[in-house]
Amino acid sequence: MVNVIRRIIARILTSFGVTADQLWSLLSPIGHSSHIRRHAAAVTLSRVRFVSALFAVLVPAWSVVDLLVFEMVQAVPLIALRFASAAVFVFLAWPRELSTTRPSLQAGLMLLIMLLVPPVFYLLSLQVVDPAELSGTQALVAGLYALMPTIVLGGLAVFPLTALEVVAFSIPAVTIALGSIIADHGMDLQADGAALWFMAMMMGLAMFSGMSQLHYMATLVNKAMTDALTGAYTRRSGTEALDLMFRLATLSGKPLSVAFFDLDHFKSINDSYGHEAGDKALQTLVESLRTTLRRGDILVRWGGEEFVAVLPDMPADAVPGLLSRLRAGNGLGLRPDGTALTASIGVAETLRDDVLDWPALVELADSRMYEAKRGGRDRAVLPGEEVIVLGESPDGVQDGGPNVGQVAEATATPA
């Protein structure tokens, strides 16, 4: 019975183009990649600024209605509240850079402040005008103010949010709305049922819209970020992540290592077995590296058969352990002839190498990768010119090192 239910759910999700893992990522923000979180934060911050700029104009403009509808003793405090609200919206609309370290927190706080303005305005307006004492047009306008918490719930629909985030951002508005109802006349489902149903519908609409936007955005970002053949990060998205990680490492004083991988004798695979075999070798390399890399590490296809592993919070001294775990597993995979795939690796680290920026870090790792090739391939060169021979090379040379002919070959054809 359980399996039948799972199949039914899987079919429903497939019809919407969503897998079970993707569904979880739409329900909860936990586990999203840094790229997705940062992009969602950027979109949220941009829309907060746009909506705030719009309301910074519209909210004080409504003062004309207050002057025409209410008595002066009521209109003046309402107008003061409007201009105070407009000042908050101006603050939110003011241009600012997205935080490097905590973009999601920054965007979330800005969104929360914006969402609090309408219901707080409604609460304070109750201190100025008593709906029970109003009639005609005044009651109509005051009734519009009472809809502000519900409008906030509908406004959440324009932001790429998970279901849990929609619920969290809805709590203040729902609390204020329910609190005002209870304070006014207590909870009466017959009298207030329609309003509560409308609020629930607005929350459901915001939830569906936010999840749809987030899924669409994540799909586009993942396609733009990843290499179609291997699934590794593209060079463009990888350099963006590397730039961010380098700045974070600089701010925190923690090490950041990069390992530059270049498959040995890759050209001979294409020449002897065809490009399909070469593509398979690249895919095998990436699959093997992913089983060894940590969750927070990223793998970038730098170009052709070159890959860069970005290793935050990992000193260069810990890289040999990572390479040892890699070799203890399935290694880098097999070549079409059944021999082991090997790579020449250059490693650089921010603290040990004292580099000023990430391009210098990658360039240093690249140069050490070429040192590994000239030294006989299937080895890694680390800071301090430390050399780790990983195993048997495709040429059949053991850990003792290459002969002169192989050094000459490596110098002439480093691939």
Give domain limits for the chain. 32-225, 235-412
Q: Are 355 and 316 in contact (CB under 8 A)?
A: no
Residue 114 has pLDDT above 90, yes or no: yes
Q: How many CB atoms lie within 10 A of CB 115?
A: 22
pLDDT at 89: 95
Q: Are 65 and 141 in contact (CB under 8 A)?
A: yes
Mean model confidence pLDDT for the chain: 84
- DSSP count for the chain of H helices, then E strands: 17, 6
Tens digits of residue pLDDT in 145-175: 777 888 888 889 999 999 999 999 999 888 8
- Which residue's structure tokens are 């921010």? 350
Residue 223 has pLDDT above 90, yes or no: no
Tens digits of residue pLDDT in 307-350: 999 999 999 999 999 998 888 877 888 888 888 899 999 999 99
Q: Are 125 and 95 in contact (CB under 8 A)?
A: no
Highest mean pLDDT, choosing among 114-118, 123-127, 330-334? 114-118
Question: Hey, what amino acid is at 342?
Answer: T
Share of the chain above pLDDT 70, in %: 86
Q: How far apart are CA 224 and CA 385, in angstroms?
A: 37
Select 235-412's CATH number: 3.30.70.270, 3.40.190.10, 2.30.42.10, 2.40.50.840.
3.30.70.270
Q: How confident is the model at residue 11 (pLDDT cuts 50, 70, 90)?
A: low
The residue ranking higher by pLDDT, 176 or 18, is 176
pLDDT average, residue stretch 37-49: 92
Q: How far apart are CA 319 and CA 294, in angstroms?
A: 12
Q: Are 369 and 381 in contact (CB under 8 A)?
A: yes
- Which residue's structure tokens are 């003793």? 73
- 342 phi, psi to nearest 5 deg: -130, 165
Q: Global pTM?
A: 0.70
28 token code pair: 């909860």
Tens digits of residue pLDDT in 44-65: 999 999 999 999 999 999 899 8
Provide long-range contacts, Cβ within 8 A and 24+ apart, for 17-24. 18/215, 22/215, 22/218
Tens digits of residue pLDDT in 79-98: 999 999 999 999 999 998 88
Work out whether the CA dihedral 128, 132, 136, 142 comes out positive or negative.
positive
Q: What is the phi-psi region of residue 98: left when phi exceeds 0, alpha when psi lies from -120 to 50, beta otherwise?
A: beta
Tens digits of residue pLDDT in 353-400: 999 999 999 999 999 999 999 999 999 999 988 999 887 443 333 333
pLDDT average, residue stretch 272-286: 91
